[in-house]
Structure formats: C-alpha cells, structure tokens
Amino acid sequence: MYISAPNQSNSVSINNASKFVDKFVGNGLIWNGNKWETLATGINTDFPNATNVAAWEVEFLKQKEIQTGNPTYLFKYAVNATALCGNPNTDWNIATGELYTDMIVELNQAIAYLETQNITINFKGIISYQGESDALNSSCANNWGSNYEKIISGIRSIIGNVKVAVCRINQIAPCRTDFPFDTVVRTEQANWVTSDGNAILINTDIFNRLDAPDCVHLTVKGEYELGYFLSQNI
C-alpha cells in the first residue's frame, strides 16, 4: 500500500481523463472516501475533490501490478492550489489548515476498512507532488521543509518509517514569473530529502510539461512518464 499526500494540482491533473487513451486495465485499488475500489480512469482517480480527471496513478498502479503480480493499494489525497504554509485559504499546515486533519481521518478509515477484511497491509512508501503554491510567497517557500517534515512525521507515525518520494516542482521561471520563489522551494525539497535519509527526489523537469502560458502542469504524456518513473523507484 502506498500513501500519496500532500498533493496539489499535478497529482489531481488538469487533464481531462478522456485524453488517457489507455484506460486502466488491472486490479489496482484506490480509496474513494468510503471504500477501496478498482481504479477506474476518471471515475475514482482523484479523491477528494475531482471528477473526470486522471494523473500518474494510472500508469503507476499498472506497472506495480506487472512487477508484483498482485494488486497494489493507493491512498491518494490531492487538492488543487493548496500550500503547506498558513495560507488563508485551504492548506496542509498542521497548525492552521484542515487538509492534514481530513487526510489523516480518511487514511485511518482506509486502513481500518482493510483490517476488517482481514487483509494484511504492507506499507511501501509515501509519494507527494506539492509546492507550487508555496512558491508564491517567500515565507511559505522558506518554511517548506519544516512544514513538510511535520506532515510526513504524522503519516509515518501511522504507517512506519517508509521511503518518501518527493516530486520536485518544475523549474517554472523563466517560462512564468508569477511563482517568484520556485527555486527556493526546489532547494527546500532537495535539502529535506538529503536530511531525511529515507527519501528520494524525483526530478520532474524531465517529464513532458505544458507550454506557456501554463508552464506548471504536466501533460498527459508527462503524467504517464511520472507514473512509470515512480513505479520503478519506490
């Protein structure tokens, strides 16, 4: 079982699920807020807030089943435009935000659901793709690492000291200049991975990305590329 949190738009995906030509075929399972279901592209791919979208989980679960011969469980919690800091809107900050608390409640429910079915859970890792919203503000950017540490520590207190895959935010500038602290967040992410000792940094610059005026989000091809890369490295 993999946990994917905290996440924002690149894990929700801005891409219409109909663009995923290869619909998911397999037995990988995803949490839908009430129960575990076989992943259905664009139907239950993005809990808690999205419909008719799909992201890297499509290729990730496909490849994991090929590797192991068994279905993989993925708990993914992704919300667009959310930061780790004390954003006045929705945010992941443990002290000020509601997303962390809501996610932990859901995670415990997802685990309890499997336990009632007498399914042995083998926790394998944590995957997160978050940070663009923190790149909008100097304080948020400079505190990304400390805020992230609190969230990951909370998740690990439930599932154990599993490996973490940090998907580094894209180098947005000079394509766009309205994320002025993207380099700061990228540095914070690299430093956190180094200090943690049980984490890997995923260089998302190598994956296909939308051109200007977007410059932030992966294309459908990029989402497939990320899913495959994650499946081979965590």
71 alpha carbon, distance to own chain's centre: 19
CA distance 15 to 141: 26
CA distance 160 to 205: 30
As given in the structure block, the two tokens for residue 230 are: 């994650």
Residue 89 in this model has a pLDDT that exceeds 60: no
Residue 77 in this model has a pLDDT that exceeds 80: yes
Cα dihedral 188, 229, 6, 4, rounded to 10, equals -150
pLDDT at 53: 72
CA distance 9 to 102: 18
**Helix or strand or coil: residue 168?**
strand
The residues with which 126 forms a beta bridge, in sequence order, are 3, 164
Cα dihedral 198, 190, 234, 99, rounded to 10, equals 90
As given in the structure block, the two tokens for residue 44 are: 């239950």
pLDDT tens, residue by residue, 102-159: 999 999 999 999 999 999 999 999 999 999 999 999 999 999 999 999 999 999 999 9
CA distance 231 to 4: 13
57-66, 67-76, 79-88, 179-188 — which is least confidently predicted?
79-88
Q: What is the 3-state secondary structure (H, E, C) of 62-93?
A: HHHHHHHCCCCEEEECECCCCECCCCCCCECC
* Domains in the chain: ranges and CATH: 2-233 (3.40.50.1110)
pLDDT at 87: 62
CB 231 within 8 A of CB 59: yes
Angle between the N-to-C axes of helices 99-116 and 144-159, in degrees from 0 to 180, rounded to the nearest 10: 20
Of 129, 128, 142, whose CA–CA distance to 184 is shortest? 142
16-20, 34-38, 146-150, 156-160 — which is least confidently predicted?
16-20
As given in the structure block, the two tokens for residue 101 are: 């608390």
Fill in the DSSP letter of residue 52: S
CB 217 within 8 A of CB 46: no
CA distance 170 to 47: 23
Residue 16 in this model has a pLDDT that exceeds 80: no
Residue 26 in this model has a pLDDT that exceeds 60: yes
Residue 119, Ramachandran bin (φ over 0: left; ψ between -120 and 50: alpha; else beta):
beta
Of 157, 160, 148, 75, whose CA–CA distance to 111 is shortest? 75
